Each structure stands twice: as structure tokens, then as C-alpha cells.
Amino acid sequence: MPAILKSVLLFLLAGLFEIGGGYLVWQWLRAGRPWWQGALGFGLLAAYGILPTLQTASFGRVYAAYGGLFIVLAFFWGWRVEGVVPDHFDWLGICLCLVGAACILYTPRT
């Protein structure tokens, strides 16, 4: 598997684990869902903490680039799970985040 594709897949998986885990904990504490949903959320959050270590770049670059991707994933989660449709300025921000994350992580270093 090409390195960039593997990196992107790891970021996507980490994002789904973090947002999904946080959402389950949120539902448990704020919406009265069963305790096991909160426990599953904590498990996903723990797995999220491990996934970035599989990236090849330095810690700071990985987390900076992930921050940009997290913003994008959070918008898509809100859109698909909660029905909040991004507006024009949200889409502009999403594009800027993706470009910024790509510049941080995938541009050649001199």
C-alpha cells in the first residue's frame, strides 16, 4: 500500500474512533444512554490514542495535520449523524483545513 494512502486511512480511522467514541460518551452522559455505550466510547477513545503512533512523521506534524482532518470529519459527522448541513463558509473552512493538513504532512522537506 502506498505510504500516503496508508497515512490517510490511519487518519480517517483515528478520526472515526475519536469522534465516534466522544459521541458515545456524549450520548451516555447527556442523553441517558446505557452505560455500555459510554464504555464502548471510552474503548474507542483509547484505540484512537494508539492509531497516530502508526504514522511515520514526527509527533507534532502528525497531530497538527490530524487537527485539520478532525475538523473535516467533525463536520461530516454532524452532517450525516445529526443532520446539520455545512454552509458555504463551512465548506471553505473544510477545504482550507485539507490543504493545510496536506501541506504539513505530505510536502517534501528540504
Question: pLDDT of 67-109, one tens digit each?
Answer: 998 999 999 999 999 999 999 999 999 999 999 999 998 898 8
User: Which amino acid makes up residue 36?
Assistant: W
Cell of 80: 450525516
C-alpha cell, 44: 474507542
User: Quick check: 10 and 55 in contact, CB under 8 A?
Assistant: yes
Give the HSE-up count for residue 78: Cα atoms under 13 Å, Cβ half-sphere: 11
Q: Containing domain of residue 71, as a range? A: 3-106
How many domains does the chain contain in total?
Answer: 1
Q: Can you state the percent helix, strand and coil of the chain, rounding each to 5?
A: 85, 0, 15
Dump pLDDT digits (tens) for 39-58.
999 999 999 999 999 998 88
The whole-angstrom separation of Cα 101 and Cα 44 is 23
